[in-house]
Amino acid sequence: MKGAMKATVTQLNAGSLEEDWRGLKSHLAEQGSQFVLLPEMCFAPWFCAEPKRDERVWKAAVASHEAWLERLPELPVALIAGSAPRNIAGRPQNVAYVWSREAGLKWTRSKTYLPVDEGFWEANWYDRGPIDFPLIRVDGVNIGFMICTELWFMQHAREYARLGAHLLLIPRSTGEESIAKWLAGGQAAAVISGAFCLSSNHAGEAGRMRLGGAGWICDPDGALLAITSNAEPFVTLELDLAEAEAAKSSYPRYVDDNPI
C-alpha cells in the first residue's frame, strides 16, 4: 500500500458492540476504506474503571477479545490495528496488534506507561511492558504505536519521526471531560512525529464516568482533519503518505537534537 490510503477512525461502545460492529462494516464498505484503527482494549467493558483487580473479569476480557479478534476478517479492509488484553508468559499486559488480510494477526508491543487514577486503574490490572517503541512496517505503511497514556511521553513521537513513521496510532480509552486535552496532545504528537496522528476511543458509560469518543485524524502539521461524534461514530479520509515522508525534512523535525 503506497501513496494515498483511505483510513478510518472510530468510537465504539462496549454496551452496543454488535450494533456498532454492523455499523462499522457498512461504513467501511461504503467508504472503500483500506485501514481502520480500533480503540484500546475495545472488545470488553472498560474494566479498569474499578480500582481492585478481579482475575475473573480479566480472564473474561481476554476471552472476549480473543473471540472478537477472530472476527476481524469480517471488516472489509486490508489493515486493522488496536490493542487487547493478553497474558504473556503468565504476565497480564495490554498489547498492540496489527491485522492484515495477507498476514493475519501480528502482536507488536505492550503498553509501557500505565495510569493509576480514578476510572483508569490500569497499573492495578496489568503489568508494564518494556520501553520499546519499534516501527511496524506492513503493506508498505510505517506504523508507530503510542497507546493512550503513552501519548504524553512525547520523546517517542520524536523517535518515530527519525524512524520514518507514516501513521502514529493512539488507541485510547479516555473520558468525556478531557477531550480537548487529549486532542491537543494528538495534534502536538503529529507535529513532533511528522506523521498522520490517528486515534480511536471508547464511548458510553464505564462505572461512574462517561467515556468520550472523539476519535481523530490530524495531519503531519497538527491540523485536525476529522473527529468522530455520537452522530458520526466512524470517519474515513484519504491520506497521502507522501505528506508524512516530506514532513520529516521540514520544521521542527529536521532540528538536530543530538548531544553537542
Q: Residue 202's closest CA among 34, 33, 44?
A: 44
Q: Which three cell numbers stand for residue 101?
A: 488480510
Cα–Cα distance, 114 to 128 (Å, whole number): 7
Segment 151-186, tens digit of pLDDT: 999 999 999 999 999 999 999 999 999 999 999 999
In contact, 127 and 92? CB cutoff 8 Å: yes
pLDDT at 85: 98
Q: Residue 186: exposed, middle, or buried by beta-carbon count in 10 A (0-12, 13-18, 19+)?
A: buried
Q: Residue 38: exposed, middle, or buried by beta-carbon count in 10 A (0-12, 13-18, 19+)?
A: buried
E-strand spans in the chain? Answer: 4-12, 35-40, 79-88, 91-100, 104-110, 136-138, 141-145, 167-172, 196-206, 209-212, 216-218, 224-227, 234-240
Q: Which residue has the cell 473471540?
A: 67
Q: Which three cell numbers stand for residue 237?
A: 479520509
pTM across the whole model: 0.97
pLDDT at 259: 85
Q: What is the torsional sign of CA 121, 124, 126, 131?
A: positive
Question: Which parts of the chain fold into alpha helices (H)?
Answer: 17-31, 55-69, 122-125, 155-163, 179-193, 241-247
One digit per residue, pLDDT tens: the chain, 260 residues? 568 999 999 999 999 999 999 999 999 999 999 999 999 999 999 999 999 999 999 999 999 999 999 999 999 999 999 999 999 999 999 999 999 999 999 999 999 999 999 999 999 999 999 999 999 999 999 999 999 999 999 999 999 999 999 999 999 999 999 999 999 999 999 999 999 999 999 999 988 889 999 999 999 999 999 999 999 999 999 999 999 999 999 999 999 988 88
pLDDT at 258: 86
Cα–Cα distance, 225 to 29 (Å, whole number): 21
Mean pLDDT of the chain, nearest integer:
96
pLDDT at 208: 84
